Amino acid sequence: MSIRLNSGGRRIDRDRVLRYRFNGRDMAGFAGDTLASALLGAGQTLMGRSFKYHRPRGVVASGPEEPNALMGVGEGARFEPNQRAPATPLHEGLVAVSQNHWPSLERDVGAVNTALARFLPAGFYYKTFTWPRAFWKHVYEPFIRRSAGLGRPPEEADADRYEHFNIRTDVVVIGGGIAGLTAARLAAEAGLEVLLIEQDTIWGGRAPVDGVEIDGNPAQAWVDDTVAALAAMPNVRLRLGTMAAGIYDHGYLLAYERVADRPDSSGAPRHRLWRVRARRIVTATGAIERPLSFACNDVPGVMLAGAVRDYLVDYGVSPGDRTVIVTNNDDAYRTAIALHRAGLSVPAIVDARPEIAGALPEEARQLGLTILPGTGIAKVKGGRQVTGVALCQQGGDGAVTQEIACDAVAMSGGWSPVVHLWSHCGGKLIWDAEQAHFRPDPDRAPTGADGRGFVVTAGAASGALRADAALSDAAAAADRVLTALDQTAGDASPPRADVPSEAPLAPVWMMPQRAGADLRAKMWLDFQNDVKVSDVRLAAQEGFTSVEHAKRYTTLGMATDQGKLSNINGLAVLADARGDAIPQVGTTTFRPPYVPISMGSIAGEARGDLFQPIRRTPLHDWHEGQGARWEPVGQWRRPYTYLREGEGVKDAVNREILNTRSNVGLLDASTLGKIVVKGPDAGRFLDMLYTNMMSTLKVGRCRYGLMCSENGFLMDDGVVARLSEDTFLCHTTTGGADRIHAHMEEWLQTEWWTWKVWIANLTEHYAQIAVVGPKARTLLERLGGMDLSRDALPFMGWADGTLGGLPVRVYRISFSGELSYEIAVPAGQGRALWDRLLSEGADLGVMPYGTEALHVMRAEKGFIMIGDETDGTVIPQDLGLDWAISKKKDDYLGKRAQARPHMTDPDRWTLVGLETESGAVLPEGAYAVAEGTNANGQRRTQGRVTSTYYSPTLDRGIAMGLVWRGPERLGEVLTFPKVDGTPVRARIVSPVFYDPKGEKQDV
């Protein structure tokens, strides 16, 4: 059982006890502990259940690469799933729960999956759950849903705040171990601006744990001095608890700072996302130890040798009283020696290498430790806890030579550089056969805008695993950065480390080498995703021989692992199954983030009111005060209708329509796009942009215009007014203003750049109010100031003047079929005009109306709506708008495309009105069915509904739709099945349901 020793632990303060809860139990640890070290110290080796088989699992690693000990941390609005216990600093009051079990960690019914393991092989999702079909709903789907996903999501809205931080700097150094500190120091001494970040909460990396001496002093002293020197430099920023999540194009880096992961830190953001632009990035990200693949290597108590050393030296925690070491390299002997010196028992060092010669094994031998060369572990014994190991010849098939009782196993399969960040943006790797790992190829770095590499690796991240090599590699990395940035070196001289020499490792991808199927089915490659040696071999056997395919088929290296622990071992097994060498198999793609980051940090401040800014018209506040139900239109909010006390939405809409048709209604039309196009060539320019002829429009007049893309499809519509000989005002749809402005600029700047035209988007400069209905003129005349008679301002004319003393431009245009004036007024005076209209019109029945009334009234008139009748595949000719397409023009955007054969096909669906036989309202988007079925066995269709409403004016349902050869088929009855299959019959009619002669708008 794991225990806290009576002494030791350089990171903990035994005088400060921290209370926390784990699975509802009160626990205690020390300041400086991580959740993992505190639990181990309390004898809690069982920390979770595995994903697929729900096998008992303990902590394996001592850093964020931990695959097993994933916890839900926090409560309620501060709950976060999948937190890695070794990377979660303990704090007073921390609450943690383990995952993947029910009803409890100790008694878990899902563990029955283990018994079913042979039915859950690689690709089991694809195989098992296909047939019989009826099993989906009641058997397979509930099973998959319950077992899919790690942890559970928080249920309350996040209580914390998060922020983004943007920064530019010369150099970012990622990793605050001795290599990173060295590179940062040398770059800073040369005068460069340096940001040094470290994911851990202390500086120094592994060197202090491993007893390295630098320049004749213990590593810790050198680290302290170096950090102090860096902190004193004005051109250096230092950040602990900050993890580089991803490297992107042109020196862009995202880093994740855990500022305040404790609930009592008032004011500070919980996490901060650093968005960094660096001229050069140094990745001094170290290396991660590899597990060894032997049977039952996942039993709690089996840990990485380096992690065992970390828990011992850093936290005074021993994973067991008797720890067997199993290794293929010299580094693991450091763990044996450290355990022995701490007074703990190391019954044997099981070394797969037949010859053992290094300085560290020699030291172990002199301490009296037993070394078993050429030996491997045949099988770990124990269920929830290691009870012993059965040993065998590494070169054999697993015949047991002896058994040793122990309660922990420290394994080391060698170390792999952390190449993730290097690889994110295209850095390439080379296979280092001597150290049996992939390492960055310095000649194929990710390249920046200047075409040169912008990422440099330093230390173990380069493959320079030993401290002495790591320091000289870091100095070389700093040199490369200085050269690239034309900087001369400062005074500081690179440090030197003193470490014993090490003999080469022997690659061991399976233990024992000739293990049979029984053993292979118990060798875990990926602890988190429950992928075993047998799974990868099966994937290869079934044809998933590409590394990317095998990954997806088996889920190897997915989820938070992302190839940290499982990668090389899995590749080696795949290579062996394929009969290839490892470099021929290659690696899977490394993708950001390196370690999961919080969703909150990605959102930053963009939540609530700041998620998307709302655009408000000058009348927004008035609407809000009048019971407006909002409809989002682009970033605007428009009143859908104004609800009165006790009134339903439909009733309100009908009231607004009937009142407008019989009295007078007011619409806030301020959101309509208003784009001024000005210059000697403005008319010529608009002739190219609109299907109509705009250059012939008379000053003082308005014309409805259609705008198409070069594909011929209708993209926007609106009324154009000619303000002067060289000035036009183009109205666009509410959602289209910015897009149409950009469209105009694009064509002006990139195609017709010699034309003398200026374009300005004045949408927000004006409030615009539509005064609509038979009493509209009466109302406006009461305000006084302009002659608005039919003769003075005819239909489709505009005039400048004053109304009630306010400067206005009045357009006589109508989107409802009624007598209608749209009045533009400087935005700041919009509310004044609106208030005057309401007070002057009280006895006329003046009443505001919303967008739904607007929509119904335009549909009653058969006017199209961009986005209803159009969907990006509809041309104006489909909508019977040929009258708005100039026949005289040689060219306009979309003209050539509209001549393509399928655009002129008489079989296209074209616009008609639809009237149900019963008077009911057709369902939105319903399709009209035709005889027979298509090639896919689906019912043929011959049309669809594009707009459908209840018309209070006509007291029945009205609709518009696109129908095959529609206008030729007036009077025919079509059948529209509803979602439940019941048919609705509707007759093809003219789309103009109301005032077909257009008399009412022209009075």
Partner 1 sequence: MLILTCPYCGVAADETELAPGGEAHLTREGPGSDDDAFAGYLFHRENPKGVHFERWRHAMGCGKWFHAARCTVTLEVFGTYAAQVTEPPRAIRDAVSARRPGWRWRDLT
**Residue ranges that bind partner 1, judged by CB under 8 A:** 248-252, 277, 426, 447-451, 710-711, 742, 745-746, 749-751, 753, 890-891, 895-897, 899-901
- Closer residue to partner 1 (CB): 612 or 982: 612
Q: How far is CA 772 from CA 719, 820, 838, in A?
A: 17, 4, 13
Q: Quote the distance between the C-alpha of residue 747 and its chain's center.
A: 34
- Closer residue to partner 1 (CB): 447 or 975: 447
Token output for 756: 């003398």
- Closer residue to partner 1 (CB): 742 or 954: 742
Shortest Cβ 591–partner 1 spacing (Å): 15
Query: Which alpha helices (H) appear in 305-358, and where do they start and end?
Result: 305-315, 332-341
Q: Count of alpha carbons within 13 Å of 118, Cβ hemisphere only?
A: 3
Token output for 944: 């669809």
Shortest Cβ 546–partner 1 spacing (Å): 21
Please state, in angstroms and rounded to a whole number, the distance separating the CA atoms of residues 302 and 385: 9
* Contact status, residue 961 vs residue 943, Cβ threshold 8 Å: yes
Three-class HEC string of 736-788: HHHHHHHHHHHHHHHCCCCCCCEEEECHHHEEEEEEECCCHHHHHHHHCCCCC
Q: CA torsion, points 920, 921, 922, 923, in degrees to nearest 10?
A: -120
Shortest Cβ 760–partner 1 spacing (Å): 11
Please state, in angstroms and rounded to a whole number, the distance separating the CA atoms of residues 575 and 557: 16
Shortest Cβ 252–partner 1 spacing (Å): 5
Determine how many CB atoms are found less than 10 A away from the CB of residue 343.
Answer: 11
Shortest Cβ 756–partner 1 spacing (Å): 14
- Closer residue to partner 1 (CB): 843 or 891: 891
* Contact status, residue 622 vs residue 651, Cβ threshold 8 Å: no
- Closer residue to partner 1 (CB): 496 or 895: 895
596 phi and psi angles, rounded to 5 deg: -55, 140
888 phi and psi angles, rounded to 5 deg: -85, -20
Please state, in angstroms and rounded to a whole number, the distance separating the CA atoms of residues 421 and 143: 36
Shortest Cβ 656–partner 1 spacing (Å): 38
- Closer residue to partner 1 (CB): 172 or 550: 172
- Closer residue to partner 1 (CB): 710 or 924: 710
* Contact status, residue 439 vs residue 150, Cβ threshold 8 Å: no
Shortest Cβ 449–partner 1 spacing (Å): 5
* Contact status, residue 196 vs residue 184, Cβ threshold 8 Å: yes
Task: Give burial (CB, 10 Å; 0-12/13-18/19+) of 78.
Answer: middle
Shortest Cβ 635–partner 1 spacing (Å): 15
- Closer residue to partner 1 (CB): 753 or 883: 753
Shortest Cβ 891–partner 1 spacing (Å): 5
Shortest Cβ 962–partner 1 spacing (Å): 23
Shortest Cβ 599–partner 1 spacing (Å): 20
- Closer residue to partner 1 (CB): 176 or 440: 440
Shortest Cβ 711–partner 1 spacing (Å): 7
Three-class HEC string of 925-993: CCEEEEEEECCCCCEEEEEEEEEEEEECCCCEEEEEEEEECHHHHCCCEEEEECCCCCEEEEEEECCCC
- Closer residue to partner 1 (CB): 426 or 627: 426
Q: Mutual orientation of helices 533-541 and 567-578 as an angle, nearest 10°?
A: 40
Shortest Cβ 221–partner 1 spacing (Å): 41
**Burial call 845-865: b when 16+ CB within 10 Å, e when fewer:** ebbbbbbbbbbbbbbbbbbbb
Q: CA torsion, points 165, 167, 171, 173, in degrees to nearest 10?
A: 0
- Strand 213-214, strand 497-498: pairing: antiparallel
Q: CA torsion, points 297, 300, 306, 308, in degrees to nearest 10?
A: -140
Shortest Cβ 749–partner 1 spacing (Å): 5
Shortest Cβ 900–partner 1 spacing (Å): 7
- Closer residue to partner 1 (CB): 251 or 961: 251
- Closer residue to partner 1 (CB): 749 or 839: 749
Q: How far is CA 968 from CA 164, 616, 707, 928, in A?
A: 60, 45, 26, 16
- Closer residue to partner 1 (CB): 724 or 749: 749
- Closer residue to partner 1 (CB): 39 or 694: 694
The DSSP code for 138 is: I
- Closer residue to partner 1 (CB): 28 or 742: 742
- Closer residue to partner 1 (CB): 745 or 882: 745
Q: Count of alpha carbons within 13 Å of 109, Cβ hemisphere only?
A: 5
Please state, in angstroms and rounded to a whole number, the distance separating the CA atoms of residues 64 and 429: 23
**Burial call 976-989: b when 16+ CB within 10 Å, e when fewer:** beeeeeeebebbbb
- Closer residue to partner 1 (CB): 202 or 897: 897
Shortest Cβ 450–partner 1 spacing (Å): 7
Three-class HEC string of 581-645: CHHHHCCCCCCCCCCCCCHHHHHCCCCHHHCCCCECCCCHHHHHHCCEEEEEECCEEEEEEECCC
Please state, in angstroms and rounded to a whole number, the distance separating the CA atoms of residues 328 and 337: 16
Shortest Cβ 903–partner 1 spacing (Å): 12
Shortest Cβ 601–partner 1 spacing (Å): 17
Please state, in angstroms and rounded to a whole number, the distance separating the CA atoms of residues 562 and 246: 13
- Closer residue to partner 1 (CB): 254 or 467: 254
Q: Quote the distance between the C-alpha of residue 71 and its chain's center.
A: 22
